[in-house]
Structure 1
């Protein structure tokens, strides 16, 4: 059979999307390593289990319900109502690739959004209620926001909102959902003193966290360029370069700022600064120049340094910095499109039109993520409960929830692990300033 140009192009695009879907799915391994490194050893298996279950429960929920809500037919632009279990005619999507390839790519995005929250609620949340959140997040919370921005006739899409790969839909949504979750859940035992002081509860393995960050960075080359859905789109090269430059700028600024402020470059801030740069550029990677990507990433890296201690002062206990990295930088990156986009951006003569749409879009998506998660966690708290007991938290969730430890050959005193740390060495998630104060 003679191969036509169209079938060859479709084949290339299909392979490209499947490859990028695999890269995005690999990011779950990055999340697992990052979050495990940022928590104490007695909770490291528990956080990895949460990430694994995002992949299992979340994938099934997105297959059964989430994809249909996100990409189903809808006249009102609010919620989709077709394509459940990937059934039915989906020609209305206008895809040049099989719907299965498209679904796999989008499913990897859905579970990433849920996993953002897993790190924020680490070290004190019950395992089974978290599974309920993961299921509802991938079946309903994420798909509704995705439908508004990316779906067939979504109302924010019609307004012209630009969010190429998900600074708002994935990261702002997940970041502000994380804030709602930790506010309902409450802080870890020993995190805050009765006098209002903030105690450092250092993660057990920063090299593991750094490895997770590298895996996430690598996976982002599927996350952003893959959102073209075409290996024949030559803009994938600029998207990849913008992604890389923004991460580099974020990590550089965070490291240099902490070196100047505290006399030592903070590894955790460098890690989260680079991730903040990746989050921020995700919305505009296809629409901005490389120099703009550097500016966006640099600002994001600085925002992380300021945001982490700010949320500590607000008593929002986030062991991995998810709210700062995903919520703050995702919001900034979405708004930055209205400033730096070559077509329609404020600095390129586009006026305030696009900027206004971006502000409205990210505000609505963030509010939806916060409100939906707050209500869900409140309902779970009032019914089945969401926190482990103080005794279980002291013992560690690896043993209390799963009956096994990550490091069986090491003895540790869980009581001393709850106390403050007085050293000025590298501390997780940028805690030098808390000790300094």
Structure 2
């Protein structure tokens, strides 16, 4: 009977991991649509190419070495694709199976690899419209194969930071990755943006900021809804278990709070934009929803629904002011990725101790600094090497012509010409 219960839980938890991983994979489509909608038409094909290619690179590099670095899972996934039911049952009996999470190692890899791709997708939008495609893709190899997995090993992997201290022992907690995934992606993006410089015409000689509107706001809106939906897998899957009543309830709470935070962020950003600009800014509304999602990701299981809404609203307010501030500092981020995922990612980490007594503000700050410094400095070095070896920015003429024709040789919206 105990074996049957174990097998049932193994099946349920494995299936839940796979389904949540598929939802997170769907976020790749959300990032692609969001970014494609917020760039100019002449750069759309290249953005789509980047998003598909980076996902493929992330999957491959995490298989080759990333998973092994992060969880000591064996290079090329050695061993985790094997399945021996008798061996699994024997290990369960020996360790005294008590209802803990039990699932296939392959499902764990699949769930983790889509998180890696999410972190890299954040970089794509921030460096859009002026970075060389192949420089970006080479950076993706290092980011997904080494930089992200190493900081992931210090957090979710439980390893000591360069053998010095363990973040978990210091009171650091990040339920689904406000810092580990989102702030890390933003740190890599910031390093690239600083070396890259702003788009031509974005900032005037006298300090004025020139808006560069996206080409397709319906597409950006679709991308936001796709991300909102995918986030249920992102946060819900991080419960790591579904096969009993208590954890099934926890999953439902996480889904509820994730949705509440997104709604709170969207409403707050819309109101703040209306007050500041006198208009109901759709792009701020979209980024507000995403900011709410990032803010709750660090701890969606312990807040009440009201607190989750308020946490999301804080993210929505913060992201508007952050986007405006970065523009004043002439840090050109076409899609607001650094603000949404970096600034609000830090907020999410700092909110964790409000409802989670197992964490501490000092631990959250040390963890945030560790993640940011490592990813930013490592990324700056890699971007710098790429800049010296092959260059990271296209020429002014190529930027004017558009990345679609320069890198891909095709346009996303070709005109209809009579023959």
Are the counterparts in 2 of residues 251 and 301 from structure 1 also a CA contact under 8 Å? Answer: yes
Mapping 1:89-238, distance limit 5 Å: 96-154=102-160, 155-232=166-243, 233=247, 234-238=249-253
Mapping 1:243-254, distance limit 5 Å: 243-254=258-269
For residue 95 of structure 1, report the CA deviation from its aligned partner. Answer: 6.0
Partner of 1:424: none
Distance, in Å, in 2 between the alignment partners of 1:89 and 1:133 is 28
Figure out how many residues of one structure are paired with residues of the other and give that number: 392
Partner of 1:36: 36
User: Gapped runs of 5+ residues in structure 1?
Assistant: 73-81, 346-353, 412-437
Distance, in Å, in 1 between the alignment partners of 2:416 and 2:127 is 25
Taking structure 2 as the reference length, what is the TM-score of the superposition?
0.90
Deviates more, 1:148-157 or 1:389-398: 148-157
Q: Secondary structure at the match of 1:224?
A: helix
| 1:292-317 residue CA offsets vs partner (Å, 9 max, x unmatched) | 21121111000011000111111111
Are the counterparts in 2 of residues 151 and 157 from structure 1 also a CA contact under 8 Å? Answer: no
Distance, in Å, in 1 between the alignment partners of 2:62 and 2:125 is 21
RMSD across aligned C-alpha pairs, in angstroms? 1.9
Taking structure 1 as the reference length, what is the TM-score of the superposition?
0.87
Q: Taking structure 1 as reference, are residues 273 and 89 closer, same or farther at Cα in structure 2, changes over 3 Å only?
A: closer
Mapping 1:33-432, distance limit 5 Å: 33-72=33-72, 83-88=74-79, 96-154=102-160, 155-232=166-243, 233=247, 234-341=249-356, 343-344=357-358, 354-409=360-415
Are the counterparts in 2 of residues 338 and 356 from structure 1 also a CA contact under 8 Å? Answer: no
Distance, in Å, in 2 between the alignment partners of 1:153 and 1:83 is 16
Are the counterparts in 1 of residues 171 and 362 from structure 2 also a CA contact under 8 Å? Answer: no
Check if 1:19 corresponds to 2:30: no
Q: Secondary structure at the match of 1:124?
A: coil
Deviates more, 1:158-167 or 1:255-264: 255-264
For residue 152 of structure 1, report the CA deviation from its aligned partner. Answer: 3.8
| 1:217-256 residue CA offsets vs partner (Å, 9 max, x unmatched) | 0000000010112122120011111101110000000001
Are the counterparts in 1 of residues 203 and 209 from structure 2 also a CA contact under 8 Å? Answer: yes
For residue 290 of structure 1, report the CA deviation from its aligned partner. Answer: 1.8
Distance, in Å, in 1 between the alignment partners of 2:156 and 2:3 is 33
Distance, in Å, in 1 between the alignment partners of 2:383 and 2:139 is 8
Partner of 1:350: none
Write out the 4+ residue segments of structure 1 that deviate beyond 3 Å after TM superposition.
Answer: 88-92
For residue 127 of structure 1, report the CA deviation from its aligned partner. Answer: 0.7
Are the counterparts in 2 of residues 249 and 274 from structure 1 also a CA contact under 8 Å? Answer: yes
User: Gapped runs of 5+ residues in structure 2?
Assistant: 82-87, 92-99, 161-165
Q: Secondary structure at the match of 1:196?
A: coil
Are the counterparts in 1 of residues 80 and 105 from structure 2 also a CA contact under 8 Å? Answer: no
Q: Taking structure 1 as reference, are residues 410 and 202 closer, same or farther at Cα in structure 2, changes over 3 Å only?
A: farther
